[in-house]
Structure 1
């Protein structure tokens, strides 16, 4: 159940949230909001793969 939820959330995130790697945003120069979104997407992806 948990894994299915995170996979669904990952698909929703890929549609709604921006992709910083495609935009070429460097993590050293990213704003706090960009870093928060990046960390959130990383957390969702980690839980979807477990």
Structure 2
């Protein structure tokens, strides 16, 4: 049940949230909200695998 939730959230993330790696974002110059999105996407992806 828990894993299915994270798989669903990973699909929603890929549809709604921007991908900063495709845009070539430099982590040293990222804003706080960009780092928060990166952290959120990492957390969801890690738990869905």
Q: CA deviation at 1:21?
A: 0.2
Aligned length: 49
Q: Matched residue of 2:18: which SS?
A: coil
TM-score by length of 2: 0.97
Q: CA deviation at 1:45?
A: 0.4
Partner of 1:48: 48
Q: CA deviation at 1:5?
A: 0.5
Partner of 2:31: 31
- What is the CA–CA distance in structure 1 between the aligned matches of 2:28 and 2:47, rounded to whole Å? 25
| Superposition misfits of 4+ residues, deviation over 2 angstroms | none
In the alignment, structure 2 segments of 5+ residues that lack a partner are: none
- CA-to-aligned-CA distance 1:1-40 (integer Å, 9 cap, x gap): 0111000000000000000000000111100000000000
Written as runs of structure 1 = structure 2, the 5 A alignment for 1:8-23 is 8-23=8-23
TM-score by length of 1: 0.95
